[in-house]
Amino acid sequence: MKFVYTLFIAVLAGFLLLNNAAGPGLVQGEDRTGSPLSSGSCGQAGCHSQGSFSPSISVELLDEGNPVTQYEPGESYDLKVTVTAGTGTPPRYGFQAVALTGAGNTGAGTFGSAPAGFRTIDINNRTYAEHASPRTNNTFTIEWTAPDTGEVRFYAAGIAANANGSNNGDGAATLGSPLVITRASVSAFTPGALLRRLAIAPNPVENILTLRAHSDQSGEYLLRIASLGGQVLHQSRLDFQSGENMHTVDVNRLPAGVYVLQITDGDKVSSTKFLKR
């Protein structure tokens, strides 16, 4: 009887350890990202608090592999979380991330279908992305579709684990401050406008301005950048295809100030404003 009882305890302990490797949202129903909603990080909660590997964590929002600081409502991006070991070589990694907005820290945007080894889980009406099982890869990438709201703040936690079947010898990290992504300037479609949609980012801009536009037809259009007084300081011709288009414009030489960006075919025009730092 003692043998059976001991075996039961061993199996139960193994079951709990296995589940604790499945992500804090599923196992504990908790936010461990270090957000204002978090009851404590993975390290503070004692799950992976041994301080091994000295891990750090970084978060990026990517558009076709390029980091962005602004989003366009309804557009899809890749949220990339990277856990980096400061010492040693951890055999396993894990993460949890959430996007929040507003003073009430409501959920922002929508995570896409979870890739293999990932899951999305709702905690207190907010959706979190996290590992479903520990991974050998230290990067975690999941699709995220932007909302039509204001500033979005991404919080994330990561673990570096030694995969010994317990929480001994692991390390945890959270962001020192959230990744903040703001809403890009998007011009609304008006009757008679050349483009159905025109969005620019970043805004304010220092060097390279990226514009995205939806055109109903193909053609070569003229891009103009003018001061608020109407002085044209830059112009170039751009080829547009029917549908979605993306172009970059070097504005590094422009003095700091507010400018009007216009795209015209000589008849119709679409325009928006931006701030050059």
CATH of the domain at 204: 2.60.40.1930
Domain-located, residue 14:
no
Q: What pLDDT was estimated at residue 51? A: 64
The predicted pLDDT at position 166 comes to: 66
Q: Is residue 236 part of a domain?
A: yes
Residues 172 and 107 in one domain: yes
| 113 and 240, same domain (yes or no) | no
**pLDDT of 113 over the 70 cut:** yes
Length of the chain: 277
Q: How many Å apart are CA 177 and CA 179, to the nearest integer? A: 7
Task: Tell me the pLDDT band of 149, cut-offs 50, 70 and 90.
Answer: confident
Residues 178 and 196 in one domain: no
Within a domain: 148? yes
Same domain, 215 and 150: no
**What are the tens digits of pLDDT across the range 40-82?**
766 554 566 556 898 999 999 998 888 888 888 888 999 999 9
Residues 125, 32 within the same domain:
yes
The answer to whether residue 11 sits within a structural domain is no
Provide the pLDDT confidence category of residue 86 given band limits of 50, 70 and 90. very high
Look up the domain containing 121 and give its range: 22-183
Inter-residue contact 97 to 35 (CB < 8 Å): no
Domain boundary among 151, 183, 215: 183
Rounded to whole angstroms, how far apart are CA atoms 207 and 210? 10
Angstrom distance (rounded) from CA 1 to CA 158: 42
Q: How many domains does the chain have?
A: 2
